[in-house]
Amino acid sequence: MAELKFSNLTKRFDGIPALDGIDATIGSGEFVALLGPSGCGKTTLLRLTAGFEQPDEGEIHLGGDTVAGASRFVPPEAREIGIVFQSYALWPHKSVSGNVSYPLEVRRIPRKEREARVAEALELTGLRDFADRMPSQLSGGQRQRVALARCLVFEPRAVLLDEPLANLDLALRSSMQDVFSMFHRRTGATMLYVTHDQSEALALADRVAVMEAGRIRQFAAPEVLYREPADCFVAGFVGDGAVVPARLTGRSAPGRVLLSVLGQEVWCRSATATPSHVSIRPEAITLSDDAKLRSRITGCTYLGGRFRLVLDAGGEALVAFAHRRAAIGETVGVSIADPWAFCDPDADTLMVQALTRA
Ligand SMILES: Nc1ncnc2c1ncn2[C@@H]1O[C@H](COP(=O)(O)OP(=O)(O)OP(=O)(O)O)[C@@H](O)[C@H]1O
């Protein structure tokens, strides 16, 4: 397994950048998810890594070798990268073991070793009893396992996964997430996983690169993205809650700053002395009758075990969790504790409102 590194990676289509100066390093054995809205460049980054496209600027390094750059381009088949597609891309006329064996046949691995490696890969992906089936005789989840086994069998330097669960139903998606986690633990593979499903990205990845308009907005562990979003886009795109503007009061302490938020003074966690916005997750909100900040309940959805409330607090939409159903139109007091404050001078108010889920 190998480290994957992007340096100033840029790709334009008809002069418009699909990737705009990407700098990122994915450690050997790390599981990284690329998360972002449609058209942000996730698939383009994957295709450049696989070698299906050439960059206009910048370089890709795999295990210390330059595989794409101004003076060098290693073709896809020589990169030793495994790819798992949304559409499975299995050979329809080959059996499960025939599909898994194929990458070893291409590499002219002797038959005995080939059989042993195929058996191991089928065992690891829970397909031992399906070796002789044809792809048409398998479910979607089983087909995706074959695609994983086919990838695993030739011990690639990195594995790229392009929305591999997009064609599966909800129940199967979550059981396949367990399969991917197990696959990663057992193989220690360097994995780059494209998705626009944030729960999938947060559940599976060691780190998530949140992309927007061809750039990486933040590249961090899932819990860091949730607790300490870098800007309004990440705060609104990842996880639930609200993003609201805040005003400095002049008071601060190490790692904390006192801000005026919705007209209340609130101590906030922060890495900057001059924040402009706060991210208020539902867990940061407590509802009580006597809190000074008043809000009106505008939405109530049962999530199983708790309710998700949407509150209108002076024109800003907040999200809170509650243990009882609330009546729409009811007025409640809101206390905000320990939100995260950050500086985003580029944030435009309309975008913040659009990103904050109501
Ligand atoms: N072959 C191409 N020719 C022209 N434009 C392209 C081409 N491939 C991608 N693009 C453009 O580049 C941008 C990034 O596309 P990309 O497919 O990488 O996004 P994405 O994040 O994977 O989106 P999605 O989640 O919808 O798959 C988009 O604006 C897209 O229209």
DSSP string, 164-224: TTTTS-HHHHHHHHHHHHHHHHHH---EEEEES-HHHHHHH-SEEEEEETTEEEEEE-HHH
Q: Domain 4-227 belongs to what architecture?
A: 3-Layer(aba) Sandwich (3.40)
What's the 45 CA to ligand 1 centre distance in angstroms?
A: 10
Q: Which residues contact 95 (CB under 8 A, 6 or more apart)?
A: 131, 132, 133, 134
Residue 350 has pLDDT above 80, yes or no: no
Q: What is the pLDDT of residue 129?
A: 92
| pLDDT attached to residue 352 | 55
Q: Is the CB of 42 under 6 A from ligand 1?
A: yes
Strands 256-261 and 247-253: antiparallel
Residue 329: left (phi > 0), alpha (psi -120 to 50), or beta?
left
Does 207 contact ligand 1 (Cβ within 6 A)? Answer: no
Residue range 170-184: mean pLDDT, rounded: 80
- Atom 2 (ligand 1): residue with closest C-alpha? 13
Whole-number Å distance, alpha carbon 37 to ligand 1 midpoint, is 11
Which tens digit of pLDDT belongs to each residue from 153-163?
A: 888 889 999 98
Share above pLDDT 90 across residues of the chain, in percent, rounded to a whole number: 70
For helices 96-106 and 140-152, angle between their N-to-C axes, nearest 10 degrees? 20
- Evaluate whether 212 touches 238 at the Cβ level (below 8 Å): no
What is the pLDDT confidence band of residue 306, given thresholds at 50, 70 and 90?
Answer: very high
Q: Are 276 and 315 in contact (CB under 8 A)?
A: no
Residue nearest to atom 22 of ligand 1 (CA): 43
Enumerate the CATH 3.40.50.300 domain ranges in the chain, comma separated. Answer: 4-227
Q: How far is the CA of 43 from the centre of ligand 1 (A)?
A: 7
For residue 126, the model assigns a pLDDT of 83
Q: Which atom of ligand 1 is nearest to the CA of 11?
A: 12
- The yes-or-no verdict on residue 355 having pLDDT over 80 is no
Instruction: Find the mean pLDDT for residues 7-20.
Output: 96
pLDDT single digits (tens) 244-275? 999 999 999 999 999 999 999 999 999 999 99
Q: State phi, psi for 10 to the nearest 5 degrees.
A: -135, 135
Q: How far apart are CA 67 and CA 78, in angstroms?
A: 9
Q: Supply the residue whose CA is at minimum distance from atom 16 of ligand 1.
A: 41
196 lines ligand 1 (CB under 6 A): yes
* Rounded CA separation 355/358 (Å): 9
Ligand 1 centroid from CA 349, angstroms? 27
pLDDT tens for 215-234 read: 999 999 999 999 999 999 99
Residue 183: the pLDDT is 79
Please identify, in words, the CATH class of the domain defined by 240-355: mainly beta
In this structure, the residue with its CA closest to atom 7 of ligand 1 is: 13
- Is any ligand 1 atom within 6 A of the Cβ of residue 214? no
The reply to whether ligand 1 has any atom less than 6 angstroms from the CB of 37 is no
pLDDT value, residue 358: 43
User: Would you state the structure tokens that stand for residue 90, as one six-digit string?
Assistant: 């299995």
CA 15 to chain centre: 27
In this structure, are residues 247 and 263 in contact, taking their beta carbons and an 8 Å threshold?
Answer: no
* Mean pLDDT, range 343-356, rounded to an integer: 66
Q: What is the pLDDT of residue 281?
A: 97
Confidence of residue 65 (pLDDT cuts 50, 70, 90): very high
The answer to whether 200 touches 173, Cβ cutoff 8 Å, is yes
Average pLDDT, the chain: 91
Q: Pinpoint the residues of the chain covered by CATH 2.40.50.140.
A: 240-355
Atom number, ligand 1, closest to the C-alpha of residue 214: 14
Is pLDDT at 349 greater than 80 in this prediction? no
The yes-or-no verdict on residue 357 having pLDDT over 50 is no
- Predicted TM-score (pTM) of the model is 0.89
- The CB of 39 under 6 Å from ligand 1? The reply is yes
Top mutation candidate among 44, 52, 162 for ligand 1, by most atoms within 8 Å of CB = 44
Say what the pLDDT of residue 154 is: 82
If one counts every other C-beta atom within 10 angstroms of the C-beta of residue 22, the result is 24
Q: Is the model's pLDDT at 175 over the cut of 80? A: no
